[in-house]
Amino acid sequence: MSEHKQNVGLPDKLYKVKYKTDERSHLKIKDQGVCAQCEDKPCIARCPAEVYEDEHGQILVAYENCLECGVCKIVCPFDNIEWEYPRGGYGVVWKFG
């Protein structure tokens, strides 16, 4: 997975997505210690919107990019992501869907 440059051009695509961003995150890492032990960190590569980022073993969560697909909570091998729907009216607002 190392040589292949991932998600080139994705930020421009996310720019096309309309959001109503809540000030609080609907995605939470339950225990950063568990992520530090996780070798594959599949949440990072499987998220279609680069919500998850590894910074020195800490997982940063850019919840404002979230497309609400639900993939991250399913691929997490340790069930370590607390995934909720954004509050009513918040989050992604599809124009076409």
| Sequence-ordered list of residues with C-beta below 8 angstroms from that of 5, at least 6 positions apart, any chain | none
What residues pair up with 20 in beta bridges, in sequence order? 91
Q: Using the rule CB under 8 A, is 24 a contact of other proteins?
A: no
Interacting residue with other proteins among 57, 74, 78, 82 (CB under 8 A): 74
Query: 52 in helix, strand or coil?
Result: strand
Whole-angstrom distance, CA of residue 58 vs CA of residue 52: 10
Q: Using the rule CB under 8 A, is 21 a contact of other proteins?
A: no
State which residue, 55 or 88, has the beta carbon closest to other proteins: 88
Q: Using the rule CB under 8 A, is 39 a contact of other proteins?
A: no
Whole-angstrom distance, CA of residue 81 vs CA of residue 96: 28
Residues lying near other proteins in the complex (CB under 8 A): 1, 4, 6-10, 13-14, 16-17, 20, 42, 45-49, 67-71, 73-75, 79, 83-89, 91-97
